[in-house]
Chains A and B, each alone.
Chain A
Amino acid sequence: MSAQAASVRTLTVEQVRKGLASREFSAVELAQSALEFAKSENPKTNAYLHFCPERALAAAERVDKKLAAGGDPGLLAGVPVAVKDVIITKGVRTTCGSRLLERYTPPYDATAVVRLEQAGGVIIGKTNCDEFAMGSSNENSAFGSVRNPAALDRVPGGSSGGSAAAMAQGTAVLALGSDTGGSVRQPASFCGVVGVTPTYGRVSRYGLVAFASSLDHIGPFGRTVRDAALLLQTIAGHDECDSTSAFAPVPDYVAQLDGQVKGKRIGLPREYFEGLGSESGALIATGIEVLKKLGCEVRDISLPATKYAVPCYYIIATAEASSNLARYDGVRYTVRSDSETLSDMYRATRGAGFGAECKRRIMLGTYVLSHGYYDAYYLKAQRVRALIAEDFRKAFAEVDAIVAPVSPFPAFKIGEKIDDPLEMYLSDIYTITGDLAGIPCMSVPCGKTAAGLPVGMQIMTRHFDEAGMFRLADAFEKAGGTAG
């Protein structure tokens, strides 16, 4: 194994391509060293729940064969990828961070998984997450918390905390996560990597275990904007297995990373800067200065419905979750608590299998949908959701992008907030609006606090304008971020 192949820690997709082209290393060598490195590092963070060496080596062999035959090995040829364990993989256990699916082996692949492997990507393992993607700290995993590589006593964020930690630790070059209320962007910001929530429908949800179907997105992580854009390009596009996937053509995102951001109009929503921690606020302010130096035109805007986003989200998301999670009843999915009658079996299985946060959300969702409350809660929330979407529509008539913080504070200590669910929910305030409106949004690294904790800056654009979002983020990154 070559020395270069062992440095998965810093590789980009482009460097993998060059390394393979120059025969510096083979895809199989890279996969082997990535697996070895990830396994040796994993005890520090618990980022991975399990590895899939057979699948990884088979994928890498296909890439090497194509290269040997002079064929096109694909955009992600040989690139080690970590996949959040809510995205199903045929023959490779998919647990969703839940005891209920501890032994579940899916009979088919998610569309995103099929597409990334068709592009030559090499899935090395499945990453830890909050149970059924419900949480903001990764502390709700049935298989233990993930620790933040930047500070091992702190959370990596959630729910895609394992994917973000794997990226920050350098054990994968790319990762897939899922975002329903900020679950890609918030951990990306806490771990100091790039995380993207594309437009709703941009990526097929086929094979993404459902949490809240009208809000769920699969999203890519990269260590650079370019890498995240490449992964999105690979997995995006219509899929006949998901009727909510969009028909809009997928542009060449990377070709549009031309640094042309002069004159771009950027809105700063004042509601997103209230209640923002001082250190995070100072870093975002420095980031905004960088954008100004790049020639962007910055102005204050208002998104007045923002203050209602948290209650709106926690009605809609929990209502949809209570319905989606009804299927885990002891009949089809591996785990059952034996009882005399069928209904007792359902109750016992679910009571023993779900963790505290899932139970809380199933209960809230069932309550808001129950007889007599539907109009007051669920329908009301859907109307407020329309107002939040309308805020963005109006704003994007005046600006090309919106820049905001991702989280009110950097990574907090493990155990610090777990006993106060409402406080944990309120910390999602800056990210859930994008999911409710369905617009593309991302977190790009924006410096570190004095204690060395990463802070992310959020960029949001119009529906399907991922290209504009990436262009701005890439220009910001190339200007050195806040160090520029």
Chain B
Amino acid sequence: MKITEQEVRYVADLANLKLTDQEIGRLSKDLDEILTHIDTLNEVDTSQVEPMAQVLYDSEETATLREDQERPCLGNEAALANAPLSGSGYFKVPKVIER
């Protein structure tokens, strides 16, 4: 077993996912199978290899920096337009801190 149901519940918690018991069971089986397959990577000697985080091409170090100029931004109304709940120019969420 690569992963236990208890670990699956822990990861779901980290990922902010509420899962049913049925989903936990199914994911335990799927993740176990996938992680077992992923173990084939251990066959590869990568001791002399630098990790590749991104596809990079030669360019000047500052090439991606633009002029620091003021520009119009999206605006409050547009930014909030898709919010499930907003008010007074803010996103509204359930109470976080008890009074």
The answer to whether A and B come from one shared complex is yes
Question: Would you call B11 and A367 a contact (CB within 8 A)?
Answer: yes
Question: Would you call A246 and B16 a contact (CB within 8 A)?
Answer: no
Question: Would you call A346 and B16 a contact (CB within 8 A)?
Answer: yes
Contact residues in A for B41 (Cβ distance below 8 Å): 308, 311-312, 315, 380-381, 384
CA distance A259 to B98 in the complex (A): 72
Question: Would you call A386 and B40 a contact (CB within 8 A)?
Answer: no
Question: Would you call B34 and A425 a contact (CB within 8 A)?
Answer: yes
Instruction: Please tell me if B81 contacts chain A, counting CB pairs below 8 Å.
Output: yes
Assess A345 versus B94: contact at CB under 8 Å? Given A311-B37, A380-B41, A380-B46.
Answer: yes
Instruction: Please tell me if A326 contacts chain B, counting CB pairs below 8 Å.
Output: yes
Instruction: Please tell me if A22 contacts chain B, counting CB pairs below 8 Å.
Output: no
Instruction: Please tell me if A165 contacts chain B, counting CB pairs below 8 Å.
Output: no
Interface residues on B, range: 35 or more
Q: Is the interface of B mostly helix, strand, loop or mixed?
A: loop
CA distance A370 to B16 in the complex (A): 13
Contact residues in A for B55 (Cβ distance below 8 Å): 200-201, 214, 389, 437-438, 463
Instruction: Please tell me if B74 contacts chain A, counting CB pairs below 8 Å.
Output: yes
Residues of A within 8 A of B (CB): 103-105, 107-108, 200-201, 214, 240, 243-244, 246-248, 305, 307-308, 310-312, 314-315, 322, 326, 329-336, 338-348, 350-352, 354, 356, 359-360, 362-364, 366-367, 370, 377, 379-387, 389, 421-422, 425, 437-438, 463
Known: A342-B96, A354-B17. 12 other contacts (CB 8 A): A107-B79, A240-B66, A246-B57, A322-B15, A331-B83, A342-B93, A350-B16, A350-B18, A351-B17, A377-B38, A384-B41, A422-B37
- Give me 17 A-to-B residue pairs in the complex whose CB atoms sit less than 8 angstroms apart, sorted by A's number: A107-B78, A201-B55, A248-B57, A315-B41, A334-B82, A342-B95, A345-B94, A346-B16, A360-B27, A366-B14, A367-B31, A380-B42, A382-B51, A382-B52, A385-B52, A438-B55, A463-B57
Residues of B within 8 A of A (CB): 3, 7-8, 11-12, 14-19, 23, 26-27, 30-31, 33-35, 37-44, 46, 49-55, 57, 59, 63-64, 66, 74, 78-79, 81-85, 91, 93-96
